[in-house]
Amino acid sequence: MRLSPGPQRRGPEQDLPRGAASTWLRVHGRLLASGFRRGAAYRGAALGGLVANVTFGFLKVSVLTAAVAAGGGELGGYDEAAIIAYAWLSQALLGSVNLFGRTDLADRIKDGSVAVDLLRPLDVQTATTAQEVGRALFQLLPRGLPIIVLGVLVGGMRLPTDPATLALGLLSALLAVLLSFLLVYLVAATGFWTVETRGVQVLYMIVSGFLAGLFVPVTLFPQWLYALALATPFPSLLQVPIDVISGRVDGAAALGVVGVQVAWVAAVFAVGHLMTRAGRRRLEVQGG
């Protein structure tokens, strides 16, 4: 992974000083765009991901609709249409929301090339997150949209048509993508201390998927487990954006859950920032 987005005539730090904030935005905008282009380069992988997401989507829909039918047409507040929307929307978001915990940064910390990133006049956390989010947002095109179209055409999914609801849903989805990469940054940043982060990554994969509601909506959990899930940022990765997009949660309640997402983004960002500061002092790169 390169932090500079392709050949440039001048480095971002040499840009005209039009205020730190606008420089920051422009640089990170470019990183986001370069990540987006990078995602576009792997078409085969995107197609493979789509096939996998669709297959799992059909399996999830079958078992969840059977559960709703067995519950007499209603299961924990979900009717058939709502559970179908849940299954397909979760599959659509899965290509962009990182529930696997893997990033290039973990490899760069392991092989020491992160030392180069730390020399750049850019914050490692914001720069890598911008690139990874850009890459993930590209995945919405080959993996997210086709699944939503498929869900509507074949799966019988219905979505709200009210522009305000959809706009809030889109915002919620973007926050979920951002939050996931801020969380995965924490996973990678443990490498400043441990070098090898595979164990933490696998743990993240197991826990985040379950508590985000990847296979079963978090709202169907028993009370104690639901409370436990809500104490973590994970429901904000899938359950919340799905609830907002599908209109299951609307009005002031929708604004509330999106507010919770924003709070998690801020908190996880702050933790990542502190870890970066502490970690760059701990980092030991071997070799010359």
Partner 1 sequence: MADPALRGGRTGWWRPYRAVLASRVRAQTSYRGSFALDLASSVLIGLVELAEIWVLYRSVDALGGLDLAAVLLVFGIADTAFSTADLFVGHVDTLPRYLRAGTLDVFYLRPQPLLAQLVTSEISVRRVTRIGVGLTALVVGLAVNDIAWSPLVVAFLVVVLVASTLTFAGLFVAAAGVQFFLVDASEMTNAVVYGGRYAATQPASVWGKPLVALFGFAVPIAFTAYLPVVALLGLPGAEWLPSWLGWLAPLAAVWTWAVALLAWRTGVRHYQGGGG
Residues binding partner 1 (CB under 8 A): 42, 44-45, 47-49, 51-52, 54-56, 58-59, 62-67, 70-71, 75-76, 196, 198-199, 202-203, 206-207, 209-210, 215-216, 220-222, 225
CA–CA dist 162, 180 (Å, integer): 27
Instruction: Find all residues with CB under 8 Å of 283, minimum gap 6, and list them.
Output: 109, 114, 115, 118, 192
**Tokens linked to 260:** 């919770």
CA–CA dist 273, 92 (Å, integer): 30
Instruction: Find all residues with CB under 8 Å of 21, minimum gap 6, and list them.
Output: none
Could you please report the per-residue DSSP string of 200-255? HHHHHHHHHHHHHTSSS-GGGS-HHHHHHHHTSSGGGGTHHHHHHHHTSS-HHHHH
Question: Would you say 27 or 136 has its CB closer to partner 1?
Answer: 136
Question: Would you say 15 or 74 has its CB closer to partner 1?
Answer: 74
Work out whether the CA dihedral 88, 89, 91, 92 comes out positive or negative. Answer: positive
Q: How far is the CB of 119 from partner 1 (least distance, A)?
A: 29
Question: Would you say 198 or 280 has its CB closer to partner 1?
Answer: 198
Question: Would you say 51 or 145 has its CB closer to partner 1?
Answer: 51
Question: Would you say 49 or 160 has its CB closer to partner 1?
Answer: 49
Q: How far is the CB of 153 from partner 1 (least distance, A)?
A: 14
Q: How far is the CB of 232 from partner 1 (least distance, A)?
A: 14
